[in-house]
Amino acid sequence: MVAGAAFCPSCGKPAASSLVAVPSGGSVPASASAGLQPNVAGALCYLAGFITGIVFLVADPYKRDRFVRFHAFQSIFLSVAWFVAYFALEVLLTILPGMLWRLAWFLHSALGLAFFLLWLFMMFKAYSNEQFKLPVIGDLATKQA
């Protein structure tokens, strides 16, 4: 055997010094191949609502991470709640006359601001490695994760 050679010149077998240990299963561990830390992935679950929530539920290795799954489901459920509330207020805006319409428009604006601030808060909590549970939605997300 020649020193420093990767293969034996006479038989062609790999030299002992060049063997690389591969974990059972033949793949690289998730922590070595993952591009994002769980806290970053959890925060990104909220970025585009249910779209990024679904993306992180089906993407490897995040679909096996309980923390990321919780935030993905909570993001999906929060997006659905926002859509239902927004749609209900839109219907209310179309049927209310005059002064009541102004009140509904104020509620519509306040609800939009509240959901925006909640969205930022949830991204911050996920980035801080916290599994902050929203009322009702958080319990549903915990059951699904």
Place of tokens 């070595």: 32
Amino acid at 17: S
Question: Shortest CA distance to 108 belongs to which of 122, 92, 120?
Answer: 92
Is 71 inside a domain boundary? yes
Per-residue CA distances from 27 to 20, 37, 62 (Å): 12, 19, 16
Is 21 inside a domain boundary? no
The SS3 assignment for 115 reads: helix
Tens place of pLDDT per residue across the chain (145 aa) = 556 667 677 777 776 544 444 444 444 444 445 478 989 999 999 998 889 899 998 988 888 889 999 999 999 999 999 999 888 888 877 887 777 877 878 888 898 999 999 999 999 999 999 889 999 988 898 888 8
Q: Can you name the residues that pair with 14 across neighbouring β-strands? A: 7
Q: Is pTM, for the whole model, over 0.85?
A: no
Is 14 inside a domain boundary? no
> 53: how many CB neighbours lie within 10 A of its CB?
26
Total domain count, the chain: 1
Q: What is the pLDDT at residue 4?
A: 60
Is 42 inside a domain boundary? yes
